[in-house]
Amino acid sequence: MSRSALIDNVTAMLSDAGFSVSDRCATRPKSFDVAARREDDVVLVKILGNIDALDGPTGAEMRRLGTYLRATPIVIGLRTRDEDLEPGVVYFRHGVPVMSPDTAMNFFVEGVPPLIYAAPGGLYVNIDGDVLADRRDEEEMSLGQLANELGVSRRTVSKYEDGMNASIEVAITLEERFGDDLTSPVSVMDGAEEVRDADPTPEDPEADPEDVPVLSVLARVGFEVHPTVRAPFKAVGEDVARADHLLTGHSSFTEAALKRARIMSSLGEITRTRAVYVVDEAKRDSVDATAIVEREELENVDDPEDLRELLKGRGDPQEA
């Protein structure tokens, strides 16, 4: 299957699952292919034939954007270099959860979350330690007795009851011994924090020198500005005081700029984020829901109220 066909299939699957899906981010480089929203759940989805193509910088950008846009970064792919992805298993690449189309279908469409995740050393599951301890006490079984049945140490059983995850082999043995409700799903929509890399959000990259004057104005009026390097927009601005977010683009007013502005409009609708594209000389005041602003106009902005007044009536998301 071609990557284009795979993207079409995944997009259709998300639509079937009740998501509103953005236009495809047909720009390069790009950290994700589409954004999608279902009620309060927002995902940034990268779609790959071979998930090994996800490199560290792209994974870092997906995680940053997920944080700033209140979204979950996810990769949907078919295989690794060596094998096809197993159904029902969540993998991880550079801190981003990865699943096969079948796993995604079960999760998003059927509402069946994955129970297994892959990590160095094999496949693992989340054990509900409190339930395990209760079951063991009900049967008056000591830590040592259960350890012998599992072929592990008493200390390991104690760690299971404290919340340590178990290999799939141990989980199967436990469920055969005590029943099938000892495991809990992998919390993909929460970023799978308990099993993904325990790294903080990666640091922002340096802004392109050509964009610094534009981003400096946003910082001056109160936005916390986060530059990007692999997105259709140049930065995400956070107005912490008002809980507002801003997608910002900047370039000459070209056909490529029009294309990016349209993508930004679609992404803004999904992420509920205002989109603004700054150009040297404007031929219109909006592209879909993206406001078009001349650089000279922006440089005259001194406070948030000035910015809101400048954007008023330009690419109003509700009108679009």
Residue 317: pLDDT band (50, 70, 90) is low
Mean pLDDT value of segment 170-181: 86
Asked if 102 and 128 sit in the same domain, the reply is no
Which among 241, 307, 227, 230 is positioned nearest to 274, based on CA atoms?
Answer: 307
Asked if 132 and 214 sit in the same domain, the reply is no
Split into its structural domains, the chain has a count of 3
Q: pTM of the full predicted structure? A: 0.89
Asked if 21 and 92 sit in the same domain, the reply is yes
Residue 203, in any domain of the structure: no
pLDDT in tens, 233-276: 999 999 866 667 899 999 999 999 999 999 999 999 999 999 99
- Tell me the CATH number at 100: 3.40.1350.10
pLDDT in tens, 121-148: 889 998 888 999 999 999 899 999 999 9
Mean pLDDT value of segment 105-115: 94
Asked if 164 and 254 sit in the same domain, the reply is no
Residue 318, in any domain of the structure: no
Asked if 107 and 26 sit in the same domain, the reply is yes
Mean pLDDT value of segment 49-75: 94
pLDDT of residue 199: 65
Give the domain extent around 267: 209-311
pLDDT of residue 248: 96
- Tell me the CATH number at 164: 1.10.260.40
pLDDT in tens, 203-231: 999 999 999 999 999 999 889 999 999 99
Asked if 169 and 260 sit in the same domain, the reply is no
Q: What percent of the chain has pLDDT over 90?
A: 67
Asked if 257 and 282 sit in the same domain, the reply is yes
State yes or no: pLDDT of 320 exceeds 50.
no
Residue 319: pLDDT band (50, 70, 90) is very low
